[in-house]
A and B are shown apart, each in its own frame.
Chain A
Amino acid sequence: MVGYTFLLILLLSAVGFVLNRNAAQELRAGGSRLHSLPVFHGGYALALAGLPALIFVLLWLMFEGSFVSALVRASLPAEAVAGLGAGELSLIMAEVQQTASGLIFGEPAQYVRDAAAYYNTLHSISDWAMFALVLFILAGGIFLARRSVATEFRARQRVEKVLSGLMIFASVIAIFTTIGIVASLVFEAARFFALVPITDFLFGTAWEPQIAIRPDQIAGAGAFGWLPVILGTLVITFIALLVAVPVGLLSAIYLNEFASPLLRKIAKPILEVLAGVPTVVYGFFAILVVAPALRSFGGDTLGLPISPNTALAAGSVMGVMLIPFISSFADDALTAVPRSMRDGSLALGATQSETVLKVLFPAAIPGIVGGVLLAVSRAIGETMIVVMAAGLIATLTINPLDSVTTVTVQIVTLLIGDTSFDNPKTLAAFALGLMLFIVTLALNVVALRVVRKYRELYD
């Protein structure tokens, strides 16, 4: 039904476009001088009929689900739902919806069957009502647009105004997205902080995200202190930078200063390939190759106590992922240093390495620092590598051989397979998400500012 509605909008808008354009062409063929080209008259019909219909359908679909659910929930017999909590009620509603879609498990109660039938009736009523109303809106739009075709009618200005409005709307979506992120994170995190005091979260040194299944369960309360989690994140980030910064910087210097143009032409795309590999592939690489290699080399050969999912594996693979990131930023920064500085240094008799290390590198430092900050933000927010290769248990340690967990790992494990938003366990993920967003946003803002300042310096 929804598909047909969209098809209807598409078809009738096209009909309106053609009708209006032809009408305008006839006017022109009759010898009158039009203010706007016929195609704009057509566009006017498109905007007057298709746009309101589209907005209407989207709004309808957005609110239909919750409205129907509310009606069905209200229709449930009072004796069946008396004294039930929100969680149990949503379970019943899920059962109703499954029964309504034909997935029947076991023997649903009679009132569930009734509610499911009611649910289906409401949905089909809603679908037909939407279809009829859309038809009405489209017909009205076409009629109004067709009536307004006249030689003096300023169709072009109207169409351009609509276009501008649409373009402004598209640009503002970015703001909406940010608002949506902040609102959802803050809203759910606030619910979390209502259950767990914010000081416990910020300064607690134990992270055991459990919830009591029975009210009297011993040690079922769990602990929600994020310090071990963020410490683990920082350990892995540090290892990643330890790999990525020297390798990235040195390869950028080499490609920029020493390599032949041919080598540059070959090596740069190879580095880009490294950047284009999906992170889930790096995660698999970490557990398939790097972790076993570290275990057999460090554990068996050197006799180090290496944990199976050591921070080293996740960190070093993340470092490999960040190499192209650092090297492209360093490359840009080195290229941006004015030629005169390089020439001046060489003319004074400095060798190439002295020029690079004592003149170009210091001049490029701000750009490189900006790139490194962005890489830190990437490493903190990186999810798949650590989900696959790092640990789940939060321990307060900075030993890279141990298994540590990260903010993103906790977010993913807390939310996989669990949807009820009313316990601290799932809500904790949003609190962690909020902290993650704040930290990475701060890093990004600072980094972008540093990079931009530096560009202005030499422009």
Chain B
Amino acid sequence: MTTTTTNAGADWKSPEAAARVRKRHAGDLRLKFAGMAALGFAVLMLAILLVSLFANGYQALRQTHASVTFELSAEHIDAADPQRGNYRAIVQDAVQGLFPGIDNPGELRSAVGILSNGAQNALRSIALNDPSLIGQEVTIDVPLSDPYDQLAKGLVDRDSPEDQRRLKDADIALFDTLQARDVVSLPINWALVTNADSRFPELAGLQGAIWGSFYALLVCFVLSFPTGIAAGIYLEEFAPKNRLTDIVEININNLAAVPSVVFGLLALAVFIGWFGMPRSAPLVGGMTLALMTLPTIIIATRAALKAVPPSIREAALGVGASKHQVVLTHVLPLAMPGILTGTIIGLAQALGETAPLLLIGMNAFITEAPSSLVDSSTALPTQIFIWADSPERGFVARTSAAILVLLAFLIAMNAVAVFLRSRFERRY
């Protein structure tokens, strides 16, 4: 009989052993804190991102207006042809009326700059809509131009040296007289969604971009939804296990990981270069996005079909349905909520996609909303890109506001997806 050798030297109660154990447990704490720090960093970044967007963007949610009386004098507008009236002169007269103290043309010209160029357009459309107003006075709210808008929102430091400001002391004095007369207001900036793009920040809006994105997503949905479902059904339910279907599957997985800018190159070379489709058109944008969304929908369809239990297929087959009937009338309806969820998430991704749209020219400067699929237009993300590139101070706030609009659409789409999932998802 041998004596069992115990680790006689080890004294588990000694202070050294206790120190070792403490050290090992300190490792636990270190890892835990490092993990918390990492997670905290990620959350902090998201918070900074959102806070900076809100802090900048809320400025653009309001726009300074002034209520000004214009005289649509018949001297400047020919009632027979209101389109060609001299609206610049009318605005000038009105500004002269606002500031009677101005007596030289140079000062008057810089004073006219206080009102946005949109004033002329607004007057023109008033005269066009109702020619009977010509010769009378109208009082309308017109937006102030961007530097004065910044001033009204308190973003200009009045105490800074005059040569470092865009607005000179004289300009600020003009604005103060306006404000003293109580004609300046700061209403909600609906122009942000009802106007199309403009070179002037105070007039620029997202209407064109929203319609462009809507048309592009419509094309994307019409093309990728049926195709994706059909491909998903085939690969999941019908495809034989052979080389061809293997290649198709590898292909779909790889397509999902191809950089988006490469899809832009494809669209530029094939759709625009070879097929001669129009540049900047939501149709081409939608087709490109459809190719990118297709893998997402196929993968979602397959997952949803896989989740339908075999008992349902067997029951339908058992009462004499054909394979196609089983899939179309039994499996597909049950899988539809899952497919729709995946589709909406795919479309949300497509909505935020920018690079391919840049390459097909959807970053053009277009001042009206598209009226068809082949009109030139921008999309929401490309509009953000254009505005982010614009030097005017007012566009910084507008870019942030445009991003908030885009994020609002994305959140709404994802909320619908989450709702669908929770409302219709079944567990078997």
Contact = CB atoms under 8 A, between A and B. Distances in A.
Nearest to A447: B257
Nearest to A282: B49
Contact of B37 (A250, A380, A383): A250
Contacts of A251: 35, 38-39, 42
B55 to A, nearest CB: 10
B56 interface: yes
Contacts of B35: 250-251, 253-255, 257-259
B187 interface: no
Contacts of B228: 170
Contact of A281 (B32, B298, B406): B406
Nearest to A273: B46
Interface stretch (A13-21, A132-140, A202-210, A351-359): A351-359
Contacts of B410: 276, 278
A185 interface: yes
A284 B35 CA distance: 28
B428 interface: no
A271 B42 contact: yes
A262 interface: no
B269 A187 contact: yes
- Give the contact-size bracket for chain B: 35 or more
B270 A174 contact: no
Given A184-B266, A284-B388, A440-B258, A167 B230 contact: yes
A361 B234 CA distance: 39
Contacts, number: 266
B273 interface: yes
B10 interface: no
Given A280-B384, A440-B258, A171 B41 contact: no
A99 to B, nearest CB: 16
B262 A171 contact: no
B31 A69 contact: no
A163 interface: yes
Interface in B374-413: 381, 384-385, 388, 396, 399-400, 403, 406-407, 410
B353 A167 contact: no
Contacts of A246: 38
B70 to A, nearest CB: 32
Contact of B414 (A69, A276, A356): A276
A277 B354 CA distance: 12
Given A62-B275, A174-B251, A352-B28, A429 B265 contact: yes
A281 B407 contact: yes
Interface stretch (B158-166, B172-180, B355-363): B355-363
Given A69-B276, A351-B27, A320 B265 contact: no
Given A168-B234, A412-B359, A253 B31 contact: yes
Contact of B352 (A254, A278, A377, A380): A278
B45 interface: yes
B253 A171 contact: no
The secondary structure that dominates the B interface is helix
A166 B230 contact: yes
B233 interface: yes
A38 interface: no
Interface in A304-318: none
B259 A174 contact: no
B294 interface: yes
Given A174-B251, A181-B262, A251-B35, A408 B355 contact: yes
A374 interface: yes
Contact of A381 (B261, B354, B385, B407): B261
Interface in A168-196: 168-175, 177-178, 180-181, 184-185, 187-188
Interface string A363-380: 000000000001001101
A259 to B, nearest CB: 8
- Give the contact-size bracket for chain A: 35 or more
A458 B43 CA distance: 33
Contact of A174 (B255, B261, B273): B255
Interface string A97-132: 000000000000000000000000000000000000
A171 B56 contact: no
B136 to A, nearest CB: 35
B235 interface: yes
A184 B270 contact: yes
A171 B348 CA distance: 23
Nearest to B353: A278
B331 to A, nearest CB: 14
Given A167-B234, A174-B298, A181-B266, A381 B259 contact: yes
Contacts of B261: 381, 383, 408, 411-412, 433, 436
Contact of B231 (A174, A184, A445): A174
Given A167-B233, A184-B270, A411-B265, A274 B254 contact: no
A188 to B, nearest CB: 6
Contact of B251 (A178, A276, A324): A178
A12 B204 CA distance: 45
A430 B265 contact: yes
A181 B258 contact: yes
B49 A178 contact: no
Interface in A135-174: 156, 159-160, 163-164, 166-174
A205 B49 CA distance: 37
Of A166, A324, A382, A383, most B-chain CB atoms within 10 Å: A383
A287 interface: yes
Contacts of B273: 184, 421
Contacts of A291: none
A384 B354 contact: yes
B13 interface: no
A33 B263 CA distance: 53
Given A156-B322, A284-B403, A412 B269 contact: no
Of A271, A277, A278, A436, most B-chain CB atoms within 10 Å: A278
Given A253-B31, A323-B42, A441-B254, 5 more contacts: A164-B324, A181-B266, A250-B34, A353-B30, A383-B259
Nearest first, the 3 A-B pairs at minimum CB distance are: A254-B35, A381-B259, A278-B352
7 contacts: A174-B231, A175-B251, A184-B266, A351-B27, A354-B27, A415-B359, A440-B258
Interface of B: 24-25, 27-28, 30-32, 34-39, 41-43, 45-46, 48-49, 52-53, 56, 226-228, 230-231, 233-235, 238-239, 245, 247-248, 251-255, 257-266, 268-270, 272-277, 279, 291, 294-295, 298, 322-324, 348-349, 351-355, 358-359, 361, 363, 381, 384-385, 388, 396, 399-400, 403, 406-407, 410, 414
